[in-house]
């Protein structure tokens, strides 16, 4: 009876190159996530801000953003509020830190009287630091 050769055949040698396909796949997924979320990081309230050459970006230590859109809607830190809620939020901020700055972003078409109402609510709450946000031309 013949069983053939008793020698074992050598298997293939180990593959020593790095497979970069999974790395590329992960990086492309991260890129897509970044592309989708990057516009969401900016302000979502559409405002036509006034333009001036003197507009200088400044980041205070503690700030609350109050926005007035063209339809007269009030927003505090990107969340819609009414006048009573605005007064409450400003009072809470003043109680937490009296040096809190109000960053007022008002659309170009908002009547001046509406802006003065927001300034008055801030002053009644005890907040006197108000910054008017504008864009560079």
Query: pLDDT of the chain along its 137 residues, tens only?
Result: 556 666 666 777 777 778 889 899 999 999 999 888 887 666 666 767 777 776 666 666 788 899 998 888 899 988 999 989 999 999 999 999 888 889 999 888 888 888 899 999 999 999 988 888 887 77
In the three-class reduction of DSSP (H, G, I as helix; E, B as strand; rest coil), residue 134 is classed as coil
Global pTM reads 0.58
What does 80-126 look like in DSSP terms, one character per residue? EE-HHHHHHHHHHHHHH-TTPEEEEEE-TTS-HHHHHHHHHHHHHHT
Residue 40, Cβ neighbours under 10 Å: how many? 7
Residue positions counted in the chain: 137
- Structural domains in the chain, CATH included, are 63-132 (3.30.420.270)
């Amino acid at each position: 009876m013949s069983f053939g050769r008793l020698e074992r055949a050598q298997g293939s040698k180990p593959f020593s190159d790095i497979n970069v396909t999974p790395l590329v796949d992960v990086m492309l997924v991260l890129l897509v996530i970044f592309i989708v979320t990057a516009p969401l990081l900016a302000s979502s309230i559409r405002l036509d801000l006034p333009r001036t050459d003197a507009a200088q970006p400044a980041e205070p230590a503690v700030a609350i953003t109050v926005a007035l859109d063209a339809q007269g809607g009030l927003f505090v830190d990107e969340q819609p509020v009414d006048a009573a809620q605005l007064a409450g939020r400003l009072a809470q901020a003043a109680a937490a830190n009296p040096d809190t700055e109000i960053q007022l972003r008002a659309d170009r078409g908002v009547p001046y009287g509406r802006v003065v109402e927001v300034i008055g609510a801030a002053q009644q709450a005890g907040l006197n630091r108000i910054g008017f946000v504008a864009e560079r031309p």
